[in-house]
Amino acid sequence: MAEPMKIVIAEDDDNFRALISEVIEGAGHRPLAEPNGRLAWERLKNEGADLLITDINMPEMDGFALLRNVRSDEALRGLPVLMLTIRELVEDQVAGYETGADDYLTKPFDSAVLVARVNALARRAAKKPL
């Protein structure tokens, strides 16, 4: 398996945050879970990451604002981002992609699909020139 990735998870629901962390850890990666976008943003700025998984609906800073911050930050601009949310409407998915998400997965999700998408984003990111 490839090098373990450091993955920041922004998810306000305790159960989903625990589940996503467990799935990510079980796939051999290092989850860094935060209960809202503001704390996830602070962690990204301070520690960096290899990937971001973010919900949309969160207190303090929602997933769209977090994604806009990432895309406008010189150091984090190329960070792969997976939006993982209950919001399944086409408009929400389009807004996610237009804001800069690399992938979009709706809840409830299958753990194997989440891992496959994380791995696909990691492969794509590894091929990008610096």
Q: How does pLDDT run across 38-52, given as a tens digit for each residue?
A: 999 999 999 999 999
For the chain, what are the domain ranges?
A: 6-121
- Whether this prediction's pTM lies above 0.85 is answered by yes
Give the strands of the sheet with 81-85, arranged side by side: 30-34, 6-10, 51-54, 81-85, 103-106
Query: pLDDT tens per residue, the chain (130 residues)?
Result: 467 899 999 999 999 999 999 999 999 999 999 999 999 999 999 999 999 999 999 999 999 999 999 999 999 999 999 999 998 889 999 999 999 999 999 999 999 999 999 999 988 877 655 4
Element (H, E) at 95: helix 90-99
* Integer Cα distance of 118 and 8 in angstroms: 12
* Integer Cα distance of 22 and 40 in angstroms: 18
| Nearest of 90, 91, 85 to residue 108 by alpha carbon | 85
- Can you give the pLDDT at residue 4? 87
Quick one: angle between helices 90-99 and 63-72, nearest 10? 20
- DSSP result, 116-129: HHHHHHHHHHHHS-
Question: Is 6-121 CATH 3.40.50.2300?
Answer: yes
